Chains A and B, each alone.
Chain A
Amino acid sequence: MLLLLTLCLVVLYWGVSVGSAGFVNLGSMPNEPGLAAIVFDIRLPRTLGALCCGALLGLSGALAQGLFRNPLADPYLLGSASGATLGVAAALVAFRVSPSAGHWLARLGLTGAAFIGAMVAVLLTLALARGFQHTFRLLLCGIVVGVVLGALCSLTLLLDPQVLQSMQTFMLGSTSYVGWNSVIMMAIGWLVCIVIAVPLGRLLDGLSLGESTAISLGLNIGFLRAVLVCVLALAVGLSVAQTGLIAFVGLASPHLVRSMVKVTHAHLLLISSVMGAALLGAADVLARCLLAPRELPVGVLTAVLGGGYLLWLMQKRQFSSTGGES
Chain B
Amino acid sequence: MNSICTQDLAVVLGHKEVLRHINIQIKKGMWTSIVGPNGSGKTTLLKVLAGLQACKGAVTFPGFDTQHPSRLQKAQYLAWMGQEQAGGDELSVYDVAMLGRIPHRSWLSAPSQKDHQAVKKALQMTHAWDWRYRRLGELSGGERQRVLLARVLAVESEIVLMDEPLSHLDPPHQVDWLHLVKQLVAEHKTVVSVLHEVSMALLSDEILVMDQGQIRHQGLVSDRLTHQAIERVFGNRIQIQHVAQRWVALPLI
Contact = CB atoms under 8 A, between A and B. Distances in A.
B100 A217 contact: yes
9 contacts: A199-B108, A206-B102, A210-B82, A216-B50, A216-B79, A217-B99, A262-B92, A262-B133, A264-B91
A150 B70 CA distance: 45
B13 to A, nearest CB: 13
Contacts of A268: 90
Contact of A218 (B47, B75, B82, B95): B75
Given A262-B133, A264-B91, A216 B99 contact: no
B85 A209 contact: yes
A295 interface: no
Interface of A: 69, 199, 202, 205-206, 208-210, 212-213, 215-220, 258, 262-264, 268
Nearest to A205: B99
Given A215-B51, A217-B99, 4 more contacts: A210-B85, A213-B81, A218-B72, A268-B90
B71 A209 contact: no
A205 B80 contact: no
A232 B34 CA distance: 43
B76 interface: yes
A22 B174 CA distance: 68
Nearest to A259: B90
Interface string B76-106: 1011111001111011100110011011000
Given A209-B85, A262-B133, A219 B102 contact: yes
B74 interface: yes
Contacts of B107: 199
A212 B79 CA distance: 11
B71 A218 contact: yes
Given A210-B86, A264-B91, A215 B100 contact: no
B157 to A, nearest CB: 10
B52 interface: yes
B27 interface: no
Interface of B: 47, 50-52, 70-76, 78-82, 85-88, 90-92, 95-96, 99-100, 102-103, 107-108, 133, 135, 148, 151, 155
A141 to B, nearest CB: 21
Contacts of B108: 199
B99 A206 contact: yes
A212 B75 contact: no
Contact of A212 (B76, B78, B82, B90): B82
Q: Which 4 A-B pairs have the closest CB atoms?
A: A218-B75, A208-B88, A216-B80, A218-B71
Contacts, number: 73
Given A215-B52, A216-B75, A218-B103, A208 B80 contact: no
B75 A217 contact: yes
A208 B87 contact: yes
A69 B90 CA distance: 11
Contacts of B151: 209
A305 B46 CA distance: 49
A263 B91 CA distance: 6
Contacts of A202: 102
Contact of A205 (B72, B86, B95, B135): B95
Contact of B85 (A213, A219, A262): A213
A258 B103 CA distance: 27
Contacts of B87: 69, 208-210
B188 to A, nearest CB: 21
B80 A220 contact: no
Contacts of A220: 71
B82 A213 contact: yes
Given A205-B99, A206-B99, A209-B96, A262 B75 contact: no
A262 B80 contact: no
Contact of B90 (A206, A210, A262): A262
A1 B75 CA distance: 34
Contacts of A199: 107-108
A127 to B, nearest CB: 21
A81 B56 CA distance: 42
Contact of A262 (B70, B71, B91): B91
Given A199-B108, A262-B90, A212 B71 contact: no
Contacts of B133: 262
Nearest to A263: B90
Contacts of B52: 212, 215-216
B80 to A, nearest CB: 4
Contacts of B148: 209
A258 B138 CA distance: 13
B103 A217 contact: yes
Contacts of B51: 215-216
Nearest to B100: A217
